[in-house]
Chains A and B, each alone.
Chain A
Amino acid sequence: MSEQPKEKPPKAEKKVKLPAEGPRAKEKAGRIKDPASTHVDEHVTHEDPTASLIPNTYQLSPNKPFPITTISHILKEEITHRLRDVRYDPVRSREMTLTLCEVIRTRMKEFMISRYKTVILVHIGQLNGQGLQISSRCLWDPNFDTFVSHSFKNTSLFCSATVYGIYFE
Chain B
Amino acid sequence: MLTGMEEYTSGDDGNFNTDETSVLVKECIEGVIGGTDYNHNKVNQWTANIVEHSLTHLVKQGRPFKYIVNCTIMQKSGAGLHTASSCYWDTTTDGSCTVRWENRTMYCVVSVFAVAM
Contact = CB atoms under 8 A, between A and B. Distances in A.
Interface stretch (B12-20, B23-31, B40-48): B40-48
Interface in A28-55: 41, 44-45, 47-48, 51
Contacts of B58: 139
B48 A135 contact: yes
B106 to A, nearest CB: 9
Nearest to B40: A131
Contacts, number: 149
B23 to A, nearest CB: 19
A148 to B, nearest CB: 13
B85 A138 contact: no
Given A127-B79, A135-B48, A137-B51, A51 B88 contact: no
**A interface, size bucket:** 35 or more
A105 B89 CA distance: 11
Contact of B66 (A41, A93, A138): A138
Interface stretch (A7-15, A59-67, A69-77, A95-103): A95-103
Nearest to B7: A48
A126 B80 contact: yes
Nearest to B115: A166
Contacts of B71: 134-136
A88 B59 CA distance: 39
Contacts of B96: 119
Query: Which of A104, A127, A134 gathers most chain B CB within 10 Å?
Result: A134
Contact of A121 (B3, B70, B90): B70
B82 A124 contact: yes
B101 interface: no
A137 B89 contact: no
Main secondary structure of the interface of A (DSSP, over half): mixed
B80 A88 contact: yes
Interface of A: 41, 44-45, 47-48, 51, 88, 90, 93-94, 96-98, 100-102, 104-105, 108-109, 117-141, 145, 162, 164, 166, 168-169
Pairs of residues from A and B, 5 with the lowest C-beta to C-beta distance, nearest first: A128-B79, A101-B86, A97-B84, A130-B77, A135-B47
Given A119-B68, A119-B87, A128-B77, 18 more contacts: A47-B2, A48-B5, A48-B7, A93-B82, A117-B89, A120-B85, A121-B85, A122-B83, A123-B81, A124-B82, A125-B80, A128-B78, A129-B77, A135-B44, A135-B71, A136-B69, A141-B66, A169-B117
20 contacts: A48-B7, A88-B80, A93-B80, A97-B83, A101-B84, A101-B85, A105-B86, A121-B111, A122-B86, A123-B82, A127-B79, A131-B74, A132-B72, A133-B43, A135-B44, A136-B68, A137-B55, A138-B69, A140-B66, A166-B115
